[in-house]
Amino acid sequence: MTSLKAFAIASAVASVMLPVASLADGTVEVLHWWTSGGEAKAVGELKSAFEAQGGTWVDSPIAGGGGDAAMTALRARVVAGNPPSAVQLKGPGIQEWAQQGDLADINDVATSGKWDSVLPPVLATIMKYKGDYVAAPVNIHRVDWIWANPQLLAKVGVTAAPTTWDEFNAVADKLKAAGITPLANGSDPWQDLTLWDVIALGVGGPDFYKKAIIDLDPAQLTGDTMIKVFDQMRRMRGYVDAGYAGRSWDLATRMVMNGEAAMQIMGDWAKGEFAAAGKAPGKDFLCWPAPNQGGYILNSDSFAFFKVTGADKIKGQKVLAGLVMAPDFQRAFNLAKGSIPARTDVPLDGFDTCAQKSHEDLLAAISGDKLVPSLSQEMAISRSYRGEFLDVVTQFYNSDMSSADAVRQLAAAVARVKAQ
Ligand code: GAL
List the chain domain ranges: 3-141+299-354, 145-297+371-419
Identify the residue whose C-alpha is closest to ligand 1 atom 4. Answer: 269
Residue-level pLDDT at 25? 80
Residue 276 CB coordination number (10 Å): 18
What is the position in ligand 1's atom list of the atom closest to the CA of 300?
8
* Ligand 1 pocket, residue 271 CB under 6 Å: no
Q: Are 60 and 29 in contact (CB under 8 A)?
A: yes
How far is ligand 1, taken at its centre, from the CA of residue 358, in Å?
16
How far is ligand 1, taken at its centre, from the CA of residue 333, in Å?
14
Positive/negative CA dihedral, 253, 202, 152, 353: negative
Residue-level pLDDT at 17? 43
How far is ligand 1, taken at its centre, from the CA of residue 269, in Å?
6
Identify the residue whose C-alpha is closest to ligand 1 atom 11. Answer: 66
Q: What are phi and psi of 313, to 5 degrees?
A: -70, -40
Topology of domain 3-141+299-354, CATH: D-Maltodextrin-Binding Protein; domain 2 (3.40.190)
Model-level pTM? 0.93
- Give the architecture-level CATH label for domain 145-297+371-419: 3-Layer(aba) Sandwich (3.40)
Identify the residue whose C-alpha is closest to ligand 1 atom 8. Answer: 301
Residue-level pLDDT at 5? 44
* Ligand 1 pocket, residue 301 CB under 6 Å: yes
DSSP state of 66: G
**Using one digit for the tens of pLDDT, what is the confidence trace for 112-160?**
999 999 999 999 999 999 999 999 999 999 999 999 999 999 999 999 9
Residue-level pLDDT at 269? 98
Residues of the chain with pLDDT under 50: 1-23
Q: Do domains 3-141+299-354 and 145-297+371-419 have the same CATH topology?
A: yes
